[in-house]
Structure 1
Amino acid sequence: MGIEMTSNFWPAEDSSRIPYAVFTDPELYARESKRLFAGPHWNYLCLDAEIRDPGQYVVSYIGERQVVVQRTEDGDVVAFLNSCAHRGAQLVRRMRGTATSHTCAYHQWCFSDRGDLLGVPQQRGVKGQGGMPKDFDKSKHGLRRIRVESYKGLVFGTFSDETPPLYDYLGPKIRPEIDRIFDRPVKVLGYYRQVIPANWKLYLENVKDPYHAGLLHLFHVTFGIYRPTMSGRVTMDESKGHSVLRTADIDEEQADVNSTYAGIDKYRTDYSLRDPSLFDVKPDYDDKVTNMIMTIFPNLMLGQVANTFQTRHVRPKGLNEFELYWTYLGFEDDDAEATEGKLRQSNFVGPAGYISLEDGEAGRLVQSGVNRREPDNCSTVQMGGRGAIEDQDTLATEVAVRGFWKCYSEAMGLARAQEQA
């Protein structure tokens, strides 16, 4: 049974207090399917690099719905629901492959690489009996196509005709950050998949939250990938749903590090790496950025940690669980040494990464906690201040988390009280 969405459901206009019901209420989860994943938003699907050749396809997700993304024989990129137009059966059963057509295992209906219906067994019946009606038109029974656009090799899809062009959706503050990462053709190095027992939005909170990164992650802090004393910035687009968190290894004073971590055991000067070659990698960029976390509302995260970078695709699997799909990347012009370095550094993140393992556990702990609270109880999101949600030049902040919730509440049509908390 869902909660009543009154004018007080969203208790703070500036999203500095968030009701725990957003992680536990089944009615809200059902509304997300319609408003976020079927609404006027671009959802990440895959990379051009995964479907570079004609016939290549991948099976992706928008919310809980499977979508096939295909490179046609003509070189176009199309996407359609992975559900047969006949009786709804799952059509494509491999997660990736090469095919010029797709045939349903149930009744053998066959579809082209564009999703058009090619053939129906026994369409004219058998021995003059049965079969489809004479006016059955195959051209009207293709697979459900969705809009597809790409930017810098990132492929997005939307079910809505009202979604603005992807270029505009990303906006002038986010596009340059994508340009920086994808400044040359990429190649796929590998994949991870993990299921985290938490609501999917807890992960979006996590990756928009620089406050936790210098407290939860000992590896970050000890080996100088991320510390709140580093030069850092939080940037958001106009909607506040997309964001970029950056840290750079410049202007950090040891005295500041020592005072910030006085009495906190997450900074250990007595720790060292058994294999120092982990950091013996030539940087891809000359801007000294050590950590970059970008999120594109509602389901994509791009991460650069030292010299490894990856996409992270958030795939909801109900209220209390989501799948996180990691795609690790290198550049086409990387030599063997550079590729090996990226593969070593891929151990920073992922299900058992030196850093990211802790994020999955944090999500589990929060979900376990909020499931035991009253749904009208609220979290406090005020690090970095209340009020206006603007870019900040500090890492001691949760402003991007508030930005996410502002975008979310507006997209979901949730009423907000006019007074601030």
Structure 2
Amino acid sequence: MSKPMNQAYQWPEAGERRLPRFIYTDEAIFAREMERIFFADSWNYVALSCELPNPGDYILSSIGNVGVVVSRDRKGEVRVFVNRCPHRGARLCERRKGNNKLFTCPYHEWSFNLEGRLVGVPLSRGVDGKGGMSEQFDPSAHHLQQLHVAQRHGVIFASFSNTIAPLTDYFGPKILKYFDRVCDGRPLKVIGKHKHVVYGNWKLQIENVKDTVHAAILHAFFTLFGIWRSDQKTQIVVEANGRHSVLASTATFTKQEGSSSTTANGEFQLADERLIAHSPEFQEATGAVMTLWPNLIFLQQLNCLVMRHVEPVNSNSCIKTWTFFAYADEASELTERRIKQANLLGAAGLVTIDDNEILASCQQGIAYPQDFQCVLEAGEGNGDCDYMVSESAIRGFYQYYRQVMEL
């Protein structure tokens, strides 16, 4: 267990209404986040079950900055291993996905079965009776490092912790309601994936989707076509200890008078209206952005469904993997609509590209050498509210962050 942070890491007296510069720039803080958050009592999203339809199928994922292999064994059970050979530390798998009967290290060809057990060591008896593994070598002590696995309605989570709470308790009832709203037990199918680098601290990306205020200001496309406006029906739901939250909103599909995006006398029109065509699927909202501690963004916007997995790289960058999905038995026309809207919301879409640029700008500005504190004064409290102009979900996140990090 790491020691308490020293006097150099004092949180501002204003609490969660001020965020100190060092949480975005300091590598010692980043290392502590890996230990206290990702490698501790957290359920980490790693894949969708439908990405592993057959025994031997695997896909690479990550927990924090540690690569993992998510695979299906011979009995159909999902396994999650650290992507590291226990011999000399080489990465076991390099291809993003595949199918194996054995996992074989490319360095010395140690082989592991689909349950992660060491089953083969070349030259273990040496050559001509000379050399080989010593008498002290015990193959059963050198299996792959295996993580705890939990699944809910086709979504796979993994944890390094031996004391982690069951997944339903970890989510809590308020968040589980929104999770089950989309992942309701129907079989899923993957319809596309994006992967790209964000040149900002991983928490900036998580904050961004807990931030209702910027969506109607930075994303002119949203406001112009009435998809996200500051005056529309809104619900901010924050789990009791703050770590998870949902932003639920109902699009009006009408322009907001006086907005900066309508000053050209409404001359902007979509060449293809299908980009925002919406077939109602869920009650209560046309969009729900769920952030599950520590680093999953579960997005339902119009008919687009996507898991956005944020992988911390270091204190000033992260990688975001988008897994767009649909229901396996849905009509082909609905799947086509989801694919089209994936291009609206995806890595280079008319919305996300704004975020990519602004988060890089935030990281650069925060990294200036002078002392600095981010300001979170919109709205009241750290919990639920029914209005758009609030930063309560971000404050809730940092309420829990401070507790875990002992800051």
CA distance in 1, matches of 2:59, 2:50: 11
Residues 148-180 of structure 1 show CA distances to partners (whole Å, capped at 9, x for unaligned) of 111222111111112111111111111110110
Paired amino acid for 2:17? S
Q: How does 1:3-402 map to 2 (within 5 A)?
A: 5-6=6-7, 9-12=10-13, 14-183=15-184, 184-249=186-251, 257-258=256-257, 261=259, 264-265=260-261, 269-285=266-282, 287=283, 289-374=285-370, 376-385=371-380, 388-402=381-395
Q: Kindly indicate whether structure 1 or structure 2 has the higher relative contact order, using CA contacts under 8 Å at least 6 residues apart.
A: 1
Kept in 2: contact 1:226–1:290 (CA 8 A): no
CA distance in 1, matches of 2:87, 2:228: 52
Number of equivalent positions: 402
Residues 95-144 of structure 1 show CA distances to partners (whole Å, capped at 9, x for unaligned) of 11111211011101000111100000011111111111124221111011
* Other-structure match for 1:417: none
TM-score w.r.t. the length of structure 1 is 0.91
Q: Does 1:408 align with 2:401?
A: yes
Query: How many Å apart are 1:288 and its aligned residue?
Result: 5.8
Paired amino acid for 2:58? Y
CA distance in 1, matches of 2:30, 2:53: 35
Paired amino acid for 1:96? K
Kept in 1: contact 2:251–2:287 (CA 8 A): no
Shift in alpha-carbon separation, 1:55–1:229, aligned structure 2, 3 A: same
> Unpaired segments of 5 or more residues in structure 1?
415-421
> Unpaired segments of 5 or more residues in structure 2?
none
CA distance in 2, matches of 1:280, 1:61: 34
* Other-structure match for 1:418: none
How high is the sequence identity, in percent, across the aligned residues? 37
Query: How many Å apart are 1:12 and its aligned residue?
Result: 3.9
Kept in 1: contact 2:210–2:391 (CA 8 A): yes
Shift in alpha-carbon separation, 1:230–1:333, aligned structure 2, 3 A: same
3-state DSSP of counterpart to 1:161: coil
TM-score w.r.t. the length of structure 2 is 0.95
CA distance in 2, matches of 1:163, 1:266: 50
Query: How many Å apart are 1:281 and its aligned residue?
Result: 4.6
Displacement over 6 Å in runs of 4+: none
Paired amino acid for 1:246? A
CA distance in 1, matches of 2:262, 2:104: 54
3-state DSSP of counterpart to 1:169: helix
CA RMSD of aligned residues (A): 1.9
Paired amino acid for 2:228? Y
CA distance in 1, matches of 2:82, 2:241: 28
Kept in 2: contact 1:281–1:338 (CA 8 A): no
CA distance in 2, matches of 1:176, 1:157: 21
Kept in 1: contact 2:62–2:311 (CA 8 A): yes
Shift in alpha-carbon separation, 1:88–1:13, aligned structure 2, 3 A: same
CA distance in 2, matches of 1:216, 1:238: 29
Kept in 2: contact 1:216–1:266 (CA 8 A): no
3-state DSSP of counterpart to 1:15: helix
Kept in 2: contact 1:91–1:104 (CA 8 A): yes
CA distance in 2, matches of 1:359, 1:211: 13
